[in-house]
């Protein structure tokens, strides 16, 4: 091995390399359980979905429910808010993706007001209340766009929960949910 | 930890032992006979202060862990239990919580000392870089410790900081889920943070060992920045450094005790006495004071990834400092321009801390951006250029000459002319 240019690779060289390769694979195989144990465990993954009765939420009110350890906003929007949400041209948006897994093309569909609100029930806006910057819970009906304002580092969201100003890169995400009847939603 | 031991035991038992494990000799050569520059000032006592504070944190931490429960339903109450029920629990907790702040006060002074006297320059680059590693480990330890009481600031600090990793393109979300062990900061997160908070201080102790080893290979820098040239430039570690360090530690302990007994919550945040609530963010999240300058840099950049990159770069740049500073002269005492830039930099860091504690709006944003720009400018432009344009003041021929005057330039051992010439040219 000392003067490789003069010596043909030998059977011994091959054995060294092969042994080394097996050792590397073995070390990786042993390391994996130690790394993977930190991922969500079975009990965390099994977290049930949450049912919410939305009948008591009057127009202009919102509630916050907990789902997967996170806050979910359920807002009954006013006519003015819906109008403001619709009036925004797509070209004004920082993030043009709808971030709504409940519609076709979830992350690729345009972030129109219609694609953000509940299908056919545009007064309902249901979103994960976690700022897409660093995870604070934004305050409702605040900020420069009448929607949500995150006090942590100053992100402003509009009345459809779309990021308009500040460091957050994405619109507030929408959780998977469905109306089980006119006044009940199931999140998750 | 290097050099020849002058330790020569006469006692037959010690002799027998030394021949088998020369540890007493190692301690003797490292902390008794070890030559230290005779002109060290009190800024050089912070290394000893830091070592003592690490001991304080480990001892108080281990006993706190005997009473603390790392579970989201129990953690907050167990800390209150420490405060109210455990014998002297209030004292142990206040020592540990304020001890963390004292630790950071000492490390910042220690680091600025290095910046002022050019202690990071050849041949002490590895010593300096090990110091930056210790600093990173301390930040991780302090951050995870602050999560343990599970108050509002604990939880929301943890959420904001772990979310930094979600800025990593593509794998960001997997990384945060992996760190959390779930879909949000929750019980698995608290549990593992406790485990790591217990582990990291011992890793710090290990790196401190390497740091001191590297120090004893190159020898200490000193206020003149001129290398030791003869034995008349040094004094023995014991009693000179031992007693000076001991005195400084006692003074530091008085300062520390003042916080513990008179204003134990001054450096903390009132919101952390509110139990963690994942549905409500406190109106104003601030990290512990020692993270504020970096937090200000994070917020200065109006993009998520950009902010995170800037914040980490602010620390990573320190690893490259030995090569960014092009000046040959170490000490700011002989660098008429650098001396001003050093103090400007100190003020900029303090102002960044102030901005980090202020709400992210209006003028604070603009000022924060300017200060962040200056922080990087200092390392990436000012230091490299300064070394090329600055004309240093004449250096003393030796440490002895600097202390006793020009007629004592190390005459006792080497002729002053030959030893002094290269330094004068620098
Ligand atoms: C590098 C040294 C260390 C630093 C900088 C540090 C820092 C901290 C901080 C900032 C807190 C939060 C204090 C509060 O607000 O209540 C804390 C809590 C805690 N630390 Fe440490 N720590 C260190 C070493 C240790 C060690 C070695 C242990 C041993 C297990 C330990 C165990 C604990 C425990 C049980 C708590 C929770 C109780 C409490 O909140 O007072 N720490 N630590
Ligand atoms: S977490 Fe909302 S702006 Fe940073």
**Consecutive H or E run containing B317:** helix B304-324
For B71: left if phi > 0, alpha if psi spans -120 to 50, otherwise beta; the answer is beta
Contacts of A150 in chain B (CB under 8 A): 281
Does the distance separating the beta carbons of A134 and B163 come in below 8 Å? Answer: yes
Does the distance separating the beta carbons of A68 and B188 come in below 8 Å? Answer: no
DSSP letter for B165, please: G
Q: What is the pLDDT of residues A5-36, one digit of tens each?
A: 667 888 999 999 999 999 999 999 999 999 99
pLDDT given at position B397: 93
* Cα of B97 from ligand 1 centre, angstroms: 7
Ligand nearest to the CA of B361: 2
Q: pTM of the predicted model, to two decimals?
A: 0.88
Tell me whether residue A76 is one of the annotated catalytic residues: no
CB B90 within 8 A of CB B83: yes
pLDDT given at position B5: 60
pLDDT given at position B284: 82
Q: What is the overall mean pLDDT for chain A?
A: 90
Q: Specify the higher pLDDT residue, B314 or A108.
A: B314
What does each of the 426 residues of chain B score in pLDDT, given as a tens digit? 444 567 889 999 999 999 999 999 999 999 999 999 999 999 999 999 999 999 999 999 999 999 999 999 999 999 999 999 999 999 999 999 999 999 999 999 999 999 999 999 999 999 999 999 999 999 999 999 999 999 999 999 999 999 988 888 889 989 999 999 998 999 999 999 999 999 999 999 999 999 999 999 999 999 999 999 999 999 999 999 999 999 999 999 999 999 999 999 999 999 999 999 999 888 888 899 999 999 999 989 888 889 999 999 999 999 999 999 999 999 999 999 999 999 999 999 999 999 999 987 789 999 999 999 999 999 999 999 999 999 999 999 999 999 998 876 544 444 444 443 344 433
pLDDT given at position B7: 85
Q: How far, in Å, CA of B221 to CA of B208, rounded?
A: 17
Q: What is the pLDDT of residues B85-114, one digit of tens each?
A: 999 999 999 999 999 999 999 999 999 999
Interface test with A, best of B178, B183, B186, B278 (most A CBs within 10 A): B183
DSSP assignment of A79-110 equals HHHHHHHHHS-GGG-S--B---TTSTTTTTSB
Interface test with A, best of B143, B179, B277, B360 (most A CBs within 10 A): B360
* Cα of B137 from ligand 1 centre, angstroms: 13
Ligand nearest to the CA of A139: 2
Q: How far, in Å, CA of A47 to CA of B92, rounded?
A: 39
Query: Among all residues of chain A, which has the CA nearest to that of B304?
Result: A167
> Is the pLDDT assigned to residue A173 strictly greater than 80?
yes
* Cα of B167 from ligand 1 centre, angstroms: 28
Closest in B161, B279, B360 to A64, CB measured? B279
DSSP assignment of chain A equals --STTTS---HHHHHHHHHHHHHHHHHHHHHHHHHHTTS--HHHHTPPPEEEE-TT--TT-EEEEEETTEEEEEEE--HHHHHHHHHS-GGG-S--B---TTSTTTTTSB--HHHHSBTTBTTEEEEE---TTT---PEES-STTSSEEETTTTEEE-TTS-EEESS--SPPP---EEEEETTEEEE-
Would you mind telling me the total number of residues written for chain A in this entry? Answer: 188
**Residue A97 in tokens:** 């993706």
pLDDT given at position B417: 42
* Residue located via tokens 């601030």: B286
Report ipTM for this prediction: 0.82
**CA nearest neighbour of B424 among B321, B328, B292:** B328
CB B25 within 8 A of CB B18: yes
> Is the pLDDT assigned to residue A136 strictly greater than 60?
yes
Query: Among all residues of chain B, which has the CA nearest to that of A136?
Result: B281
> Is the pLDDT assigned to residue A1 strictly greater than 90?
no
Q: What is the pLDDT of residues A140-172, one digit of tens each?
A: 999 999 999 998 888 999 999 999 998 899 999
User: Does residue A133 line the site of ligand 2, with CB under 6 A?
Assistant: yes
Site to substitute for ligand 1 among B197, B204, B205, B264, most atoms within 8 A of C-beta: B197
pLDDT given at position B1: 41
Contacts of B361 in chain A (CB under 8 A): 154
Query: Among all residues of chain A, which has the CA nearest to that of B159?
Result: A135
pLDDT given at position B405: 86
Write down the catalytic residue from A76, A133, A153, A173. Answer: A153
User: Does residue B342 line the site of ligand 1, with CB under 6 A?
Assistant: no
* Cα of A107 from ligand 2 centre, angstroms: 21
Compute CA A155 distance to the chain's CA centroid, rounded to the nearest angstrom. 16
Q: What is the pLDDT of residues B333-362, one digit of tens each?
A: 999 999 999 999 999 999 999 999 998 778
Interface test with A, best of B150, B163, B309 (most A CBs within 10 A): B163
Which sign, positive or negative, has the C-alpha torsion B31, B36, B42, B46? negative
Q: What is the mean pLDDT of the segment spanning A27-50? A: 89
């Amino acid at each position: 091995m000392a003067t490789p240019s003069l010596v043909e690779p030998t059977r011994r060289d091959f054995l060294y390399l092969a042994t080394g390769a097996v050792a590397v694979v073995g070390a990786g195989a042993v390391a994996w359980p130690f790394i993977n144990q930190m991922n969500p465990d079975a009990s965390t993954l099994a977290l049930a979905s949450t049912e919410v009765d939305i009948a008591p939420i009057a127009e202009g009110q919102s509630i916050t429910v907990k789902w997967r350890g996170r806050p979910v906003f359920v807002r009954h929007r006013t006519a003015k808010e819906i109008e403001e949400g619709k009036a925004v041209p797509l070209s004004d948006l920082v993030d043009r993706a709808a971030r709504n897994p409940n519609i076709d093309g979830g992350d690729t569909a345009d972030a129109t007001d219609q694609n953000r609100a509940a299908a056919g029930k545009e007064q309902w806006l249901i979103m994960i209340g976690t700022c897409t910057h660093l995870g604070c819970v934004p305050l409702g009906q605040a900020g420069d766009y009448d929607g949500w304002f995150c006090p942590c580092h100053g992100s402003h969201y509009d009345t459809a929960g779309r990021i308009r100003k500040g460091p957050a890169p994405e619109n507030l995400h929408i959780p998977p949910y469905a109306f089980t009847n006119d006044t009940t939603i199931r999140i998750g | 930890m290097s050099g020849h031991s002058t330790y020569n035991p006469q006692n037959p038992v010690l002799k027998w032992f030394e021949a088998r494990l020369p540890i007493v000799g190692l301690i003797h050569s490292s902390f008794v006979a070890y030559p230290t520059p005779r002109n060290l000032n009190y800024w050089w006592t912070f290394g000893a202060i830091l070592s003592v504070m690490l001991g304080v944190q480990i001892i108080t931490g281990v006993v706190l862990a005997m009473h603390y429960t790392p579970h989201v339903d129990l953690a907050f109450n167990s800390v209150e239990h420490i405060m109210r029920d455990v014998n002297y629990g209030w004292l142990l907790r206040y020592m540990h919580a304020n001890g963390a702040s004292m630790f950071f006060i000492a490390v910042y002074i220690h680091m600025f000392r290095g910046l002022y006297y050019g202690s990071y320059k050849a041949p002490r680059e590895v010593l300096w870089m090990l110091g930056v590693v210790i600093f990173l480990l301390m930040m991780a330890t302090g951050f995870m410790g602050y999560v343990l009481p599970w108050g509002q600031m604990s939880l929301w600090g943890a959420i904001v900081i772990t979310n930094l990793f979600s800025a990593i393109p593509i794998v960001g979300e997997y990384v945060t889920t992996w760190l959390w062990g779930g879909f949000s900061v929750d019980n698995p997160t608290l549990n593992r943070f406790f485990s790591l908070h217990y582990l990291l201080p011992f890793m710090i102790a290990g790196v401190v060992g390497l740091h001191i080893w590297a120090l004893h290979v190159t020898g200490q820098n000193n206020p003149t920045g001129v290398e030791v040239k003869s034995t008349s430039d040094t004094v023995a570690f014991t009693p000179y450094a031992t007693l000076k360090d001991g005195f400084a530690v006692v003074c530091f302990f008085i300062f520390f005790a003042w916080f513990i007994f008179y204003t134990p919550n001054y450096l903390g945040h009132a919101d952390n006495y509110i139990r963690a609530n994942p549905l409500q963010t406190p109106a104003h999240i601030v990290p512990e004071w020692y993270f504020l300058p970096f937090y200000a840099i994070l917020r200065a950049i109006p993009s998520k990834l950009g902010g995170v990159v800037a914040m980490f770069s602010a620390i990573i740049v320190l690893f490259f400092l030995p090569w960014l500073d092009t000046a040959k002269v170490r000490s700011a005492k002989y660098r008429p321009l650098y001396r001003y830039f050093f103090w400007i930099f100190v003020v900029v860091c303090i102002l960044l801390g102030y901005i980090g504690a202020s709400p992210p709006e209006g003028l604070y944003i603009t000022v924060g951006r300017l200060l962040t720009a200056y922080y990087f400018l200092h390392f990436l432009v000012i230091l490299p250029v300064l070394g090329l344009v600055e004309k240093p003041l004449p250096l003393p021929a030796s440490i002895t000459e600097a202390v006793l005057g020009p007629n004592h330039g190390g005459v006792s051992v080497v002729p002053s002319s030959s030893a002094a010439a290269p330094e004068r040219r620098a």
